[in-house]
Amino acid sequence: MPEHVCPPWMSFTLTNVFRRISQDPDRILGGFIRPGDVVLDIGCGPGFFTVPMARMVGATGSVVAVDIHSGMLERTRKRAVRAGVSGRIRLHLAEKDRLGLDVRADFALVFWMAHEVPDPGRLFAEIRDALKPEGRLLLVEPRMHVTEDAFAGLVGAAEGAGFVREGEERIRLSRAVVLRYSAVAGPRSAPDECDR
C-alpha cells in the first residue's frame, strides 16, 4: 500500500462523535453480521468498526482486525479492552502488499481504503481466499476521493477476483456495494500451506 494512508497519530479523525452519528456501525453492519460469525475488518484503523463488529459476533464469533500500521492495531486493542470485547478480536499486521490471512470468514468489510491499494485485484483475490463460499464483502469508498468511474473500476477488480455484485448500500458520504464470493463466478487460487 502507498505511504499516504492515514497514519496512527491521526486516528482521532476516524473515531469522533460526528462519524459515529453519520456512519453508525450498528446501522451499517447490522444486516450482515450474526452471532457466531467470523468477520474481517480490512484496514481497521483504530477499530471504529472492529469493536461494534465484536459485539455483533457475540461470545462465539470473532473479528480479525487487519491493518498495515502496528500503531493502529494498538489503538484497536486499547478500544477493545475498554469495551470488554478484546477476547473476540484477533489483531493481524498485514504487509504493505499482502494481507497474509489464514482464516475462513463469513463477512469482510473494506471501508474507505481500497482506493489506497496499488493492486486492488490482488487485495480482492486475497479477501476472496479468506472468505467461506458465499461469503459477503461490503466495499465502501469515500465520495470525495473516489469518483464514480474509479469506484466502478474497484468493483470490476472485485468481480474479476470472483465476486458477484448483490446490490448497493446507502451509506453517508460514500459509494457502497455488497458483493458475494461465488465459487461458480471464478476459480480460487491454489491453496496456501495452511489450507492443506
Which residue did the predictor score with more confidence, 196 or 192? 192
Q: What is the pLDDT of residues 173-189, one digit of tens each?
A: 999 999 999 876 554 44
Q: What is the pLDDT of residues 10-66, one digit of tens each?
A: 544 555 555 566 689 999 999 999 999 999 999 999 999 999 999 999 999 999 999
Residues 6+ apart with CB under 8 A from 22: 172, 173
Which residue did the predictor score with more confidence, 17 or 114? 114
Spatial strand order of the sheet with 174-181 comes to: 89-93, 62-67, 38-42, 105-111, 131-142, 174-181, 163-168
pLDDT, residue 19, reads 52
* Mean pLDDT value across the chain: 88
pLDDT, residue 17, reads 55
